[in-house]
Structure 1
Amino acid sequence: MSRPLLRPGTVVRYGGREWTVAGIETSSGSSARIWLSGTEKQDGQDTLAVFGLAELLGDASFAPVGSPPGLRVPQKGLLSTVSEVEQRRAFELERHVREVETGRPAPNGTASVRPEYDPASTTLAQREQAKADELSAQGWADVSRATVRRWRARYHADGVWGLVKKRRSSAQLVRADPRLVEALRALLPVEASRSRSRGWKKRMRGEVQWWLDDHHGEQGRRTVEVPPQSTFNRLLDTVEASLGLKGTVAQRRARAARPAPPFTPTLALRPGEIVMLDSSPLDVLVFLDDGVVGRLELTIAVDVAMGGLWGGLRPAGSKLTDVAVLLAQMMTPMVMRPGWSAALSMASSVVPHERLTGIDERLKDAAARPVIVPETVVVDQGKVFVSPATRAACESLGISLQPVPPANGPAKGHVERSFGSVNSLFCQWLPGYTGSNASERGSKVEQEPLWTAAELRALWEEFLVHWHHRPHAGLRHPLMPKKALSPNQMWAALLPVAGYVPVPLSSDDFV
């Protein structure tokens, strides 16, 4: 489409009205004048006005009717703030917008007009739809006629800069429910009164929902729903940034400098085939047996095939007795404790309890925690795990001990990841949670109502049973690959294949 020339009879738009060019007085430079006649009468009389050429051309509302959008000077200063990929995308969108409006991707182009974009035979709505269909066929995601219409509006308003993707973090706060933002600002530990350690985002989502129910619920009815986890995470990041609580550059670099994963994933097909052991200080302050505030040492074992978890807590560093206790825990059923819910018993779980009781009477009053016989135990180079006593104990029980190379955490990634799950599911909900590093630690953690070591051990034993009832995203059965199974469900699925052999331990074995 060629650009219309200003001549007598040309219809133009200026000041929100349509005018007809009545005459043009040419003179030197910008002193030329144009007579415009209004196409609509005012007070029953014709309207005639005289304008200078410079005045008309300098007004953004002046344009010949039916002309293509004016050429926009690329905002090089603004475009230099985005990546080259975003710049190329913006200029490509400009070509698509111009083709929709004029039929040609570039002004004064020599290429022929494609039939689906010919303004002479198609409407603007048809050209918008044709462009949406074309881009969708090329692999563009979520492009509709409304998308093309928004591109046109942004291009008319801001030129090429309007076609650049912009992050609208501040707009999230505007669109979000004010009560939700209020809850986040009330619960986030601001620097001035940061007494409690910051937990994981999943915990924060649950606390926000509880806060909303307490402050805005009506007669036990929930009036404000917390958005899904992904949306909540974005909103939480935005609120944290507004409060100045985002991590430092050094912390982000530390998270990025993680070791590479092993070349192939660890595969186990039966319970006890591969068990990984490790120990780490528990990120919770407690009152020790001597009344001093301190942290306990957690030693855990994880079965790779079914995600089973066993663990023990002690005040000082791990000792040989902790390894012996873990081996005994794996091969001995856990007896139900007084006060536990009946739902935690093995008789109430998916495990074939009656059939197993006929083989092992110890399972009659047992909690729903798997019982396995380890075949291979993977440990690190800790002095306790590679000591001669530990090797002798494993040899007497027919267990193969496999130490991993030094400083190779990914080689026993299952147990390393389980420590993170223990923090998110257990530690961060307790008073005295110290966080995984100093940047996440509250300033008044020691002043919280701390638990005693004995109370924490009792709660830990109950948590171990709950662990085996919770579905794990990494546990999948080949016949049900889309369903996440719990450790108890995986154990029940593997029992018919692997079988169950009771191994009662005598006093000599414990010694």
Structure 2
Amino acid sequence: MGAQVRFEARTWQVSGLVDGRVYLAADDGATGCVLAAHLVAADGFELLDQAAPQIPAAAVWAALALPARERAMAWLRHIREVETGLPGGPGSSGVPRPEYDPHAFTLAEREHAKARELAGLGWTKVSRPTVQRMRLAYQRQGLLGLVDKRSLRASCPTGRTDERVVSAVLEALRQRRGRRATTVKQVIDLAEQIVAQTHGPGRVTLPARSSLYRLVRALSDPAEPPGSPARTATSPDRAAGPPALRPAERVHVATARLSIEVVGEDGRPAAVSVTCALDGATGCVLAAVLHPQQAVAPGVHRLVPGP
């Protein structure tokens, strides 16, 4: 991310990498998308040996809409050209365009020239103060300073919540996913346990309960929100007490009759059941045994305490 490449006789900056596709942004605001395999195999492709820009926190950058990232990458090259005369910044090859030569024009004159150029390219509401403001924002915040703040606010559902709390909520959602019906309260309780075990009791200040409810709903998978039955669950969970956090802390054993028959050792058809042991923390199947049907109701569970 942020690397400069040579492709189809033009210099581009990588603004995104998604599912084997590379999103590119040129200094004139043009954008493109190409398969990574095609890009690196193309004639004339070159990875330019230049310092990558300061990339913001991965989670924040990835949450931004692609147009917002492309716009920021395009601004980056323009700001570099205003400051150094070259879109690639210090150390890049080439000769500055006459209107951006630092030895011939002042910084203010180069900002005026860039505003005129961007207006000619169709950029709206771009003036010399706009170019100056973006240049100063880049100096203070790096690439994140060039992102439209409206996009930044719209793409950050966690607000100002401590990143350690956000990580704990995401881990709690991951552990509860696909195993049984889960309520928001259960996710919050599990997240609080994870925070305490990871960082120590009382070391991390937790938001108000109402804020945690909003955070869980914002981070939940829309296809499986808390409070709905898990799509892969087969029966309700009758386990009591707090959820298991460590492997083998709680093992669920269940027996169910199968609606098929097999041929026994005596050559006669036989009805069978399957008994499985499922780890309560990881969801892994520890053991599974196929055996003749017994007088056990389908789906009956019993708990075997772990060590």
Is TM > 0.5 for Structure 1 vs Structure 2?
no
The structure where strand makes up a greater share of residues is 2
Q: In terms of Rg, which structure is larger?
A: 1
Calculate the TM-score normalised by the size of structure 1: 0.21
